[in-house]
Amino acid sequence: MRHNIKDKKPMDKAAIALILCFSVVALASVFTVKSSLDKINLSDNTDITVPQKNETKDKSVAKRVPTVDSQDNPQSNIQNQNNGNSSSPSTWVVPVDGLITLEYSTELPIYSKTLNQYMVHNGVDIAAPLDSRVQAAAAGTVVETYKDDRLGYTVKINHGNGFITTYSNLSDKILVESGDVVKKGDVIGGIGDTSLFESADDSHLHFQMEKDGSLVNPSDYIDF
Ligand SMILES: [Zn+2]
């Protein structure tokens, strides 16, 4: 056993010496590789800086092209605005004169007097006396008129560009029908008291707005 241990020790020493030698060689080679790499990197950098200058030159040339485009863009913007004016609302009007008494809140439930519970509110409630005129918030086509189980007599108008407005809690005297083309400000009906869900609130218009199939806050578009 002892002999074996003694035999092993010199072997280990020799092995360590060999490993040291190899490591020194390896380190040396690593340094040489590193230094050569650094040289390559330096040369690469210098090589890169030259094309970068060329690129910047190219970019400056390329920048001139977009400026030509941007000169064209205002025209296309104007065209878009014209399209917007003709086919979809560029500006909106309030559907009825009055203050917002219940804000749009689809994420945080708010208190409903009628239902005595907290619930989301998919539109804004605009206070107005009974039979106040309700007008189209923008030009569009009436999609449908119906009596909603919860929100009462309702008119839905498509304004193009993904915008749909919905007017609820109207009186039963609705002045438009589906397919009618309306201009901004055209009277579509009057304030009623037909919403079961909001019957305990003072008379008001429940007004919803959709953009591309999703509810949006009307206050983001209309200056109430
Ligand atoms: Zn409401």
Tens digit of pLDDT per residue, the chain (224 long)? 444 444 545 556 655 455 554 555 554 554 444 544 444 444 444 444 344 444 444 444 344 443 334 333 333 333 333 343 334 456 899 999 999 999 999 999 988 887 788 989 999 999 999 999 999 999 999 999 999 999 999 999 999 999 999 999 999 999 999 999 999 999 999 999 999 888 888 999 999 999 999 999 999 999 99
CA 217 to ligand 1 centroid distance, Å: 12
Give the contacts of 205 (CB within 8 A, at least 6 positions apart).
Answer: 95, 96, 98, 125, 126, 128, 132, 134, 167, 168, 169, 170, 191
Structurally, the chain folds into a number of domains equal to 2
The whole domain housing 134 covers 100-220
pLDDT at 113: 80
102 C-alpha to ligand 1 centroid (Å): 7
Amino acid type, 94: V
**How many angstroms separate the alpha carbon of residue 65 from the centre of ligand 1?**
51
Give the chain's length.
Answer: 224
Domain boundary among 59, 87, 115: 87
Greatest C-alpha distance within the chain: 114
State the DSSP H helix or E strand holding residue 169, giving kind and residue range, or none if neither.
strand 163-170
Q: Based on the fold, state whether residues 206 and 136 are members of the same structural domain.
A: yes
Note whether residue 166 is domain-resident. yes
CA of 93 to the centre of ligand 1 (A): 19
What is the distance in A from the centroid of ligand 1 to the CA of 207?
7
Residues 122 and 208 in one domain: yes
Distances (CA, A) of 67 to 39, 53, 163, 216: 41, 21, 33, 35
